[in-house]
Structure 1
Amino acid sequence: MKKNLVYFCILCCLIPLQNFSQGSADYTGGLKVKLNEEGTKYFRILSWAQFWAQYNEDVPDDVSTTNFSIRRARVLMYSQISKDFLILTHFGLNSLNANNQSPTGLGESSQLFFHDVYLQYSLGADHAIGGGLHYWNGISRLNNQGTLNLLTLDNNRQSWATIGLSDQFARHIGIFFKGSFGKLQYRVSVNEAITNNLQDQAVPEAGGSPIYAGRRLLGSKDAGKNFAGYFEYQFLDQESNFLPYKVGSYLGTKKVFSLGAGFFYHSDGSVSAEADGLLTGEDVAIFAVDAFYDTPLGDNGSALTAYATYQNNNYGDNYTLGQTYETGSMVYGHVGYVIPNTDKKLKFQPYTSLSLRTIDRIDDNATTFGLGANMYMNGHNSKLTLEYKNTKYGDGDAIGLITLQAMIYL
């Protein structure tokens, strides 16, 4: 065990010596190919990859404490031949590791798949309508978070509250509206709920807790659609809503303060069984309020990023699936500080995060504390993140996890 920890520490020291730097400090986003002289007709391609090395001491005796994986590998392309329409395509893989790789890349486990494929039509200068497999989600900023510019190592898992239950990896097939009224931005959608979700083989026990299987067990007429929305008022600099992916940290390049509120509603999304076996639908309702603040601090390169949210989850009476989807409530927040530095490329950003959850099923709480640091070699385009996370669930023992991430975004 000690030998594996030594190996992990050596790896943490060696990786920063490699030259991961790509692009420049004035990067504007991917490869843009202009199709006319004015640049109004174009397509743009973005690519990013995140490699993880993890140390986890809380494993069985025959399992390695140090493991490697590709957390994400993605390619995103969007194009416009007119300001009135846009098409976006986003594909890639997640969490590729030694246990789910295929010898020929054609195994049963999903590797490359579409994350987004949607069409969008302009409804004037400030509004648009679109349809397809999309990420214009409700609930909170974190449920709309992009993975290119996270403050923490990864998103707070419970904030992505419907992954695999009603959607395909946080994306629904449906119709969305998005836009702004002055400083008020909005996104709302009507979507199909997926049939074959994380509980596609489960059946509710008589008198037991519900399962998320409304469309499969009750039919698409009553349980086939869900509704979502997120609204935020931006007091200072205005953030772009051209794409759905919310920024995690601006590193002091903008001064942003926003207050938001959002929801997700799926009628008869969950199903419970009475003592006589009769199936009954239970509505799934999730809502949240949040606040985001990002600002430079003086002229020395320092900056502050802060975020906080309250989220209430109702998946049905005493619903639980693992330690991720549970009826109850959550308070989450994180804070990051960019250390003063005159170097425009090299920046250091220590951060901390805290999640407090109440869980109805176990009548107890769960607490997750995170402490980490980002080293930016060229903004979010080339960075290293080292994070320690500690989770205590109910009356169980606290579990610690150390993760080192190397990321490049082009």
Structure 2
Amino acid sequence: MKQHLRPAFALLITALPFLAPAQTLKDGKLTLNPDGSHYVKFTLFNQVWARYNQSNPGTLVNGYAKPNTFDIGIRRFRIQFFGQLTDRVFVYSQIGINNFAYDSPPKTGFFLHDAVGEYAVVKKHLSLGAGLGAWNGLSRLTASSVGSIMGIDLPLVAETTNDVNDQFGRKLSLYAKGKLGQLDYRVALSDPLLVANAPINTFATFSGRPAKAQYQGYFMYQFRDQESNLTAYNAGTYLGQKNVLNVGAGFIVQPEAMWYRQAGSPDTLTQAMKQVAVDLFYDAPLDTAKGAASISFYALAMHLDYGPGYLRYTGPMNPANGIGAKAASTQVPGAGNTFGNAVPLFGTGNVLYGQLGYKFRENLLGSTTFMPYVSYQYASYKRLADDLHYIDAGVNWLLNGQGSKLTVSYQNRPVYSLHADGTNRADARRSAMVVQYQVFFN
């Protein structure tokens, strides 16, 4: 051993007997002090989809017509590493991948989801933090804990700027969070990412100019059991392990976020993006007996103002990559890619979303049980002549709670086309069947 390393090695050997009693490893958590209040924790999470999808009209895969598709893909994979380093210092990080399927570039790499650090100014009541994270405003499931969502997917409409001027719903922010009695709050000042593709049309799109700051907040009154706000992510269901009744309200505002031009004018007009929401979450056992059946309910109402005529399509892990010329001429213009499984989930207008699930008693089938669910999104967007109705219904087979779960889902969505009178109407509907297996080491 080199001479200059020997003193350090000897010091480490001397210190080990004193460090060992404080350090234990259990369920991915390494304690750093005797009472376990200081720790670091590691988690793994994976969701795999197998799916049959009825394609939107004109859908192409590498130039070939595909009226339907079957695919297998990784919907989400996550690695979390976080910890309470001192009585006041907390750090949270997450890396992962989304939507890796047969049409993804080979060797697609992980990307950074979260990297925040925070300091508890007044323990439990006020913590200040900074970094890339999901301490967003607007609604409960705008920052959803994907490992505990009840259905096959979270309500994507709640992530209103996803991958436009943020990183998969995460934002570069300064934030404050805490609890004041039964009120849980979060507020943030965010620095939006530059918008790469920003055409100017007669309908609003996100501006390509350097962005102004985004202001956001969410306030939740917890009538019954208190939920943890250790991380930004809110549970989708507790599977009857808590008795929760919350009412929340939130907002997101960004000045001059949108731009557009009026017909026949070369002048560029700007407008703020303004979004407000109210929601209700109820999740509770139906009996006091251990392992009893439980119910989970969530309702969300949103007013989204992106400016005149804004509309955006999205297709979760879209199994296609093109559209034929004839079909393209009849699609809603300037709203993104309409092929595959895409649906216009985002727009200027009003949204109602609800989900309801019933978990049967524990040990219904051996050591497992089932939780059927249904979710529904209604939207009245100003650019669509017909209102949007999107349905997802299915059943979870809880093999080991959320740690090992098999979900079968049926989804039904509208297909819009541009008519001769200039209106966008829902002329047809398409469906998909999805089977998901989830593993969550938490």
Structure 1 length-normalised TM: 0.86
In structure 2, relative to structure 1, the CA distance for the partners of 1:29 and 1:252 (3 Å cut) is: farther
Give the aligned partner of residue 339 of structure 2.
none
- Please tell me whether residue 347 in structure 1 is matched to residue 374 in structure 2: no
In structure 2, relative to structure 1, the CA distance for the partners of 1:189 and 1:304 (3 Å cut) is: same
The count of residues paired between Structure 1 and Structure 2 equals: 366
Tell me, what secondary structure is at the counterpart of 1:51?
strand
Contact 1:30–1:47 (8 Å) recurs in 2: no
Contact 1:32–1:42 (8 Å) recurs in 2: yes
> Cα RMSD over matched residues?
1.8
Give the aligned partner of residue 129 of structure 1.
128
Alignment deviations for residues 78-126 of structure 1 (CA, whole Å, 9 cap, x no partner): 0222021111110000000111131xx2xxxx63100000110001122
Question: Superposition pairs for residues 312-331 of structure 1, below 5 Å?
Answer: 312-322=303-313, 323-331=344-352
Give the aligned partner of residue 16 of structure 1.
none
Give the aligned partner of residue 380 of structure 1.
402
Alignment deviations for residues 267-308 of structure 1 (CA, whole Å, 9 cap, x no partner): 100011244322121110111100000110112520000010
Tell me, what secondary structure is at the counterpart of 2:203?
coil
Structure 2 length-normalised TM: 0.80
- Please tell me whether residue 368 in structure 1 is matched to residue 364 in structure 2: no
Counterpart-to-counterpart distance in 2, 1:86 and 1:114: 18
Counterpart-to-counterpart distance in 1, 2:40 and 2:276: 36
Alignment deviations for residues 347-404 of structure 1 (CA, whole Å, 9 cap, x no partner): 2000111111101012321101121000111110110010001112542211111100
In structure 2, relative to structure 1, the CA distance for the partners of 1:57 and 1:29 (3 Å cut) is: farther
Give the aligned partner of residue 39 of structure 1.
36
Give the aligned partner of residue 142 of structure 1.
141
Shift in Å, 1:318: 1.2
Contact 2:92–2:231 (8 Å) recurs in 1: no
Shift in Å, 1:41: 2.5
Shift in Å, 1:62: 4.3
Identity %: 28
Counterpart-to-counterpart distance in 2, 1:202 and 1:160: 19
Give the aligned partner of residue 406 of structure 1.
437
Give the aligned partner of residue 428 of structure 2.
397
Q: Rg: which structure is higher?
A: 2
Contact 1:150–1:247 (8 Å) recurs in 2: yes
Tell me, what secondary structure is at the counterpart of 1:143?
helix
- Please tell me whether residue 48 in structure 1 is matched to residue 79 in structure 2: no
Counterpart-to-counterpart distance in 2, 1:203 and 1:148: 36
Q: 2:199 aligns with which of 185, 192, 203?
A: 203
Contact 1:345–1:376 (8 Å) recurs in 2: no
Tell me, what secondary structure is at the counterpart of 2:206?
coil
Question: Superposition pairs for residues 5-404 of structure 1, below 5 Å?
Answer: 30-58=27-55, 60=59, 62-63=65-66, 65-102=69-106, 105=107, 111-126=109-124, 127-196=126-195, 200-205=196-201, 208-213=202-207, 216-217=208-209, 219=210, 223-274=211-262, 275-298=264-287, 299=289, 301-322=292-313, 323-342=344-363, 345-393=367-415, 394-404=425-435
Counterpart-to-counterpart distance in 1, 2:269 and 2:76: 38
Counterpart-to-counterpart distance in 2, 1:62 and 1:328: 34
Counterpart-to-counterpart distance in 2, 1:345 and 1:150: 21
Contact 2:141–2:155 (8 Å) recurs in 1: yes
In structure 2, relative to structure 1, the CA distance for the partners of 1:30 and 1:317 (3 Å cut) is: farther
Q: Name the aligned partner's letter for residue 160 of structure 1.
A: E
**Higher mean displacement: 260-269 or 153-162:** 153-162
Counterpart-to-counterpart distance in 2, 1:146 and 1:296: 20
Alignment deviations for residues 297-336 of structure 1 (CA, whole Å, 9 cap, x no partner): 1125200000101011110111112213210111110100
Tell me, what secondary structure is at the counterpart of 1:72?
strand
Counterpart-to-counterpart distance in 1, 2:143 and 2:367: 27
Q: Name the aligned partner's letter for residue 212 of structure 1.
A: F
Structure 1 runs not aligned, ≥5 long: 1-27
Tell me, what secondary structure is at the counterpart of 1:82?
coil
